[in-house]
Amino acid sequence: MPIFFCDLGMKEKLIKIEEQAQIFCQARDCYVYAVEFARGSKTLRIYIDKDAGVDIEDCSEVSRQISNWLDEQDIMETNYDLEVSSPGLERPLLKAWHYDKAVGQVVAIKLYDRLGSIISVKENLAKAKNIKAKLINFKEDNIQLNIEGEDYVLPMDKVAKANIVFEMN
């Protein structure tokens, strides 16, 4: 589960919040994409989605329900702003199922180290820490990418960050 900027107590709270948000989402044929709490801005963000894409009514209704539930449960011990929205076109890939859904799409990947120190690649790619590639396949420990017409398998533990790249056709 992706949890950003939080301590262990907050992680447990975010898990509870995600579980409850999922219940509210199901009534609108949506699902929770991710939940995060940004300490600096004290913003609780809940990203929701559905296959046809969420609309303002979906976000508004889930926001109203989760806000009421949070007030009743008094889970958050600090003041916060609640945001409920779509994860966007260039959504981050945070969970295994995010990668599964992104197979066939172009992704931007930031690596912890240079690509050439992780796998054997063409010389022009060896120093790259940021790559743009087509996601060919995903397995728990590896992703298969097509970079400049060649397929490569990259260990997931070398990926610092990944997101979908929106391309106009």
Which pLDDT score, from 0 to 100, does residue 101 have?
Answer: 93
The string of pLDDT tens digits covering residues 59-103 is: 999 999 999 999 998 888 888 999 999 999 999 999 999 999 999
Beta pairing partners, 146: 134, 151
Structure-token pair, residue 39: 């300490």
Q: Residue 130: what are its φ and ψ, rounded to 5°?
A: -120, 125
Domain ranges of the chain: 8-85, 96-164
CA–CA dist 49, 68 (Å, integer): 20
What percentage of the chain's residues is helix, strand, coil (to nearest 5)? 30, 35, 35
Which pLDDT score, from 0 to 100, does residue 169 have?
Answer: 74
If you classify domain 96-164 with CATH, what class do you get? Answer: mainly beta
Across the range 112-123, mean pLDDT stands at 93
1 versus 135: the higher-pLDDT residue is: 135
Q: Residue 43: what are its φ and ψ, rounded to 5°?
A: -115, 125
CATH pick for 8-85 out of 3.30.300.20, 3.30.390.50, 3.30.420.140, 3.40.50.2300: 3.30.300.20
The string of pLDDT tens digits covering residues 20-69 is: 999 999 999 999 999 999 888 899 999 999 999 999 999 999 999 999 99
Which pLDDT score, from 0 to 100, does residue 74 have?
Answer: 85
Residue 30 vs residues 41, 86, 92, 108, 124: alpha-carbon distances, Å: 27, 10, 18, 26, 43
How high does pLDDT run on average in the chain? Answer: 91
Which pLDDT score, from 0 to 100, does residue 6 have?
Answer: 46
Q: What is the pTM of this model?
A: 0.81
CA–CA dist 138, 156 (Å, integer): 9
